[in-house]
Amino acid sequence: MRAVTTWTAPLPDGTQREEAALVFDKGREHRLLVIPPLFDEANKFRRQLVEIMRRLDLSGIDSVLPDLPGTGDSLLPHAEVTLAGLRKAAQAACEDFRITHCFCVRTGAMYAPSSLPGWRYAPIAGRNSLRSLLRARTLAAQERGESETTADLEAQGKASGLVAGGWHIGPELFAALGAEKLPHTQQMVDIDHETVGGSPLWLRAEPDEDPEQADALAAVIAIGLLGT
Residue ranges binding other proteins (CB under 8 A): 128, 131-133, 135-136, 138-140, 142-143, 149-151, 165, 199-200, 203-206, 208
- Closest to other proteins by CB, 144 or 227: 144
Q: Closest separation between CB of residue 85 and other proteins, Å?
A: 26
C-alpha closest to that of 222 among 193, 197, 191, 194? 191
- DSSP H helical ranges for the chain: 40-58, 83-96, 126-143, 150-160, 171-179, 193-196, 211-226
Strand partners, 164: 167
Q: Closest separation between CB of residue 149 and other proteins, Å?
A: 5
- Closest to other proteins by CB, 72 or 165: 165
- Closest to other proteins by CB, 2 or 204: 204
Angle (CA) 222-227-228 rounded to 5° is: 75
Close Cβ partners of 13 (under 8 Å, ≥ 6 residues apart): none
- Closest to other proteins by CB, 142 or 187: 142
Q: Closest separation between CB of residue 203 and other proteins, Å?
A: 5
Taking the alpha carbons at both ends of the chain, their separation in whole angstroms is 22
- Closest to other proteins by CB, 36 or 69: 36
- CA–CA distance, 140 with 83 (Å, rounded to integer): 27
Tell me the helix, strand and coil percentages in the chain, rounded to 5: 45, 20, 35
Q: Closest separation between CB of residue 136 and other proteins, Å?
A: 4
Q: Closest separation between CB of residue 131 and other proteins, Å?
A: 6
